[in-house]
Amino acid sequence: MDPIYEKLTTILRAVFDDDSLVATETLTAPDVDGWDSLAHIRLLTQVERQFAVKFSAGEAQSFKCVGDLAQLIQKKTANR
């Protein structure tokens, strides 16, 4: 599994307290119990912390699936 997806899996499991979650390209909020607007903010806060990135408000609302989030993380961390 891609390192970004591995780390996202760990974050998703912690945020949603569900060890069965696996970050996949097609995973969306409706697929996860409890993924509401507040959980979305908690998720993004953890992603920013764990990947040492910052998202603009537009970016935070722009992704439709975990794959979009992973691509954004890759883009922000590519030059490190």
Report DSSP letters for 1-18, one per residue. Answer: --HHHHHHHHHHHHHHT-
Residue 5 confidence (pLDDT) = 97
What is the DSSP secondary structure assignment for residue 30, as one 8-state letter? G
- Low pLDDT (below 70) residues in the chain: 1
Q: How many helices (H) and strands (E) does the chain have?
A: 4, 0
List pLDDT tens digits, range 31-49.
999 999 999 999 999 999 9
Residue 31, sorted as left (phi over 0), alpha (psi -120 to 50) or beta, turns out to be alpha
Residue 76 confidence (pLDDT) = 92
What is the value of pTM for the model shown?
0.93
Residue 79 confidence (pLDDT) = 75
Domain definitions of the chain by residue range: 3-77
Residue 1 confidence (pLDDT) = 56
What is 3-77's CATH number?
A: 1.10.1200.10
